[in-house]
Amino acid sequence: MRIQVPVTQEVREVPDPLFPAVAAGSAKEALRFGDRSLTYADLGAVAGALAAELPAGRVAVWATPTMHTSVAVVAALLAGAPVVPLNPKIGEREITHILADSAPALVLAEPGAELPAGLAGLPRRDISLDGTGTPPATEPDEEAPAFIVYTSGTTGPPKGVVLPRRAIAATLDALEDAWQWTADDVLVHGLPLFHVHGLILGILGPLRRGGSVRHLGRFSTEGVTRELSAGATMLFGVPTMYHRIAEAVATDRPLADALRGARLLVSGSAALPVHDHQRIAAATGQQVVERYGMSETLMNTSVRADGERKPGSVGVPLAGVDLRLVDESGGELTEPDTVGEIQVRGPNLFTEYLNRPDATAAALDGGWFRTGDMATRDPDGYVRIVGRKATDLIKSGGYKIGAGEIENALLEHPGVAEVAVTGEPDDDLGERIVAWVVPEGTQPTAEELADHVAKLLAPHKRPRVVRYLDALPRNDMGKIMKRALG
């Protein structure tokens, strides 16, 4: 089963290019990694040369945070070859599954990169940054696959999310509107390049706009300070990065000055704690923008650049995206501040799960995609995520409680550095609320934390159990892996 998106535009015989600035070519800087940069003319020449040599079919890309990865992805997209990004930290079982499922024709990698044994049977092509070609004159239809991105596989083997070119263009163009993103913007980030946030938003986003991106290679507050002080206008990060910024910004004046001069600070991939929002705003006057998306849908909502900032909210639906909240029976919820599952539809949606028609059908409710994320919507239409349906919706004492609001409340306590909230079976309550706490300084008692939450929220939302950790388990994108707790 494939997701059908209504066609509202007349069909063009020649599809518009994904990257008009690459097709045009210019002396403007497109990409910079460290001391190596490529102009749009350079990128067109290098990616054009590689595109001409790619075989038919899918190509895997060993997605290190480098210029080489960026060139390989652009080349494949120019050639119409669906890209299968591979996490350089991938495990043996996962890589075996991905290769068997997606059957790429070859793997593209930077010269000298050591590939795991699981890739030994796949032809390898090293990526050159010195090619002299031209971008193809035409590009594939908008429904042609652009990426096959594999999910985290928390409930079974990872599923291959097939993203068409239409979804890439729709999301990036909707963000142009929401963030007032232009060719004059220079984006800085240090995100991984094997997933939606760092690769599609963080590399392809600037290229579609005709702007520039400077990748730090590895995130550091020093790198952020340097680039924002030298003309960069936007910063992308995940909560762990913004937490480090929040920890440093009150005493690091150059960092505070650099952030103060930015046009837009954007956080994504997980919820940014309200406490970190507040610390950054207090030191810089800047309010971080949050957005919400996932592999299957790309971006769904965002706080707008010209809109009200509400810490803890992921904003309003993007242009072209329909969003609704539904109850357990699938009925639409219209009352403000009522918890329901997010469902979305629009041109940003994936086509299908590769080789999994059963999973594709199960993910759909008519033309709506079931996200599995639970949220509320305020009277202004702002969406606030309270957690995942499977792990973050706690049913305790007859109440439906979102883990996210308890986590934000606990983070307001000075003795809490990090926290995750889960539910566990309870004979009396159904589920009891458990707080997993990384202490800050003197360890607060469980009673102290329970009283703190009860005063801020409601008594039934207080944690019944507190467990202390040195660190929370996180994946490469900074998301807390709650299934590893317990």
Indicate the SS3 state at residue 96: helix
Whether the pLDDT of residue 476 is over 70: the answer is: no
What domains are defined for the chain? 20-138 (3.40.50.980), 186-344+364-388 (3.40.50.12780), 393-484 (3.30.300.30)
Average pLDDT over residues 374-399: 83
Gap between the Cα atoms of 275 and 68, Å rounded? 37
40, 45, 283, 348 from 293: Cα distances, Å = 29, 33, 28, 10
Residue 363, token pair as written in the block: 């993910």
pLDDT per residue over 56-68, tens digit each?
Answer: 899 999 999 999 9
In this prediction, residue 6 carries a pLDDT of 47
Mean pLDDT, rounded, for 202-215: 98
- Cα(7)–Cα(196) distance, integer angstroms: 24
Distance between CA atoms of residues 331 and 328, nearest Å? 7
Rounded distance, CA 63 to CA 69, Å?
5
- CB atoms closer than 10 angstroms to residue 115: 16
Q: What is the pTM of this model?
A: 0.84
Closest CA relative to residue 412, chosen from 448, 362, 466, 384: 448
Q: Where are the alpha helices (DSSP H) in 192-273?
A: 205-209, 221-228, 239-248, 253-260
pLDDT in tens, 306-360: 999 998 899 999 999 999 999 988 899 999 989 899 999 999 999 999 999 999 9
CB atoms near residue 452 (< 10 Å): 20
Q: Which two tokens stand for residue 380?
A: 């202004």
| Distance between CA atoms of residues 215 and 224, nearest Å | 10
Nearest to 233 by CA among 189, 194, 277, 276: 189
Which residues, at least 6 apart from 272, have a Cβ–Cβ distance to it below 8 Å?
A: 239, 242, 288, 290, 311
| 281 membership: H or E segment, kind and range | helix 274-284
Asked whether the predicted pLDDT for residue 12 surpasses 90, the reply is no
Residue 138 burial (CB count, 10 A):
10
Average pLDDT, the chain: 91
Residues 182-201 have a mean pLDDT of: 96
Closest CA to 144 of 174, 166, 159, 171: 166
* Rounded Cα–Cα distance for residues 104 and 125 (Å): 12
Q: Is the dihedral of CA 86, 218, 275, 440 positive or negative?
A: positive
Residue 454 — pLDDT band, cuts 50, 70, 90?
confident
- Rounded Cα–Cα distance for residues 283 and 233 (Å): 18
Residue 211 pLDDT level (bands cut at 50, 70, 90) = very high
Per-residue model confidence (pLDDT) at position 75: 97
Q: Let me know: does 50 contact 128? Beta carbons within 8 Å.
A: yes
Distance between CA atoms of residues 19 and 253, nearest Å: 38
Residue 433 has pLDDT above 70, yes or no: yes
Phi, psi at 406, each rounded to 5°: -70, -40
Question: Judging by beta carbons within 10 Å of its beta carbon (0-12, 13-18, 19+), is residue 400 exposed, middle or buried?
Answer: middle
Q: Assess whether pLDDT exceeds 80 at residue 405.
A: no
